[in-house]
Structure 1
Amino acid sequence: MSIDYQLYLSTALEPLQSLNILSKSFDFEWSSELPNPWLFREEIVIGSLSDDEPSIMEEAFGFRPTIYVWFRVAKNQYGEKGFRTMLQAVMELLRQITGDAVFLSNGEVILFQRLGGQLLLNEQCNSWITSYLPLVTLPYEVRNLPSPWL
């Protein structure tokens, strides 16, 4: 079994440019054999949003994303390492892409969001915040971030 995570970003970069950020910073193997999105080791997908997604996301989260990064982290003996790697990859993308963003667990629970340059961690996600806070390498605040979809 695994858990899905989604990072939605507002950026002028194309998915391939975002892919290059991760491939330079991490030892990810990737393939462009898929037409869209791009695939990293069957665990990370980067792609463009469908036609209606940007407006749906804007209504829900207050910004219009242009790309998404989808992660699947196994809940087995590699789950913790996978989550750590994923969080480091997300931090690297946020460091290099300065636009608004939201990071979701299973498409519904907000782990954190960045609007207007302010990174907010969801206080309702105490378990991951306490365990993985040292991996959050950007300035942040902790607040209640209720999901518009729950």
Structure 2
Amino acid sequence: MNTVFTKTPLGICKIVGNANGVTSISICEQELASNEIPSALQEAVEQLREYFDGERTTFSLKLSPLGTDFQKKVWLELANIPYGTTVSYLELAKKIGDIKAIRAVANANGKNPLWIVIPCHRVIGTDGSLTGYAGGLPRKRWLLEHENPPMQQSLF
């Protein structure tokens, strides 16, 4: 496995993977970014930079996350949430076909190993509130605002 640390507006991002795909992307407390980027992770670093620069709304990376079949099912559904939109945990449970699995869906969402690329930040409470986020609610708010900036009001 290869690892690279790269700077983002939200802190240092740790990317792990190899030629078989990216296995994890997470925010971490590491202070320094890596000097050399392994070839297997160059595309991930570039696509994340494009996302934060406002040039990318979807990702096209080879992914290889580790998880249970149920978690992978939830993560696949998360990946279908369009840029700039949100869904509730209840809506997500309905999309995987089991409204009673809302807690299991929330748990799988919280174990998402691919920060931003699998957009767990786009899942909110049924009442529209920002709820749990592994990177912290301020980062979740930042990501949602980044994807849906406030409209500039016209003076005339």
With structure 1 as the length reference, what TM-score do the two structures score?
0.30
* Structure (1 or 2) with the larger CA radius of gyration: 2
Structure with the greater relative contact order (CA < 8 A, sep ≥ 6): 1 or 2? 1
Whose strand fraction is larger, Structure 1's or Structure 2's?
1
With structure 2 as the length reference, what TM-score do the two structures score?
0.29
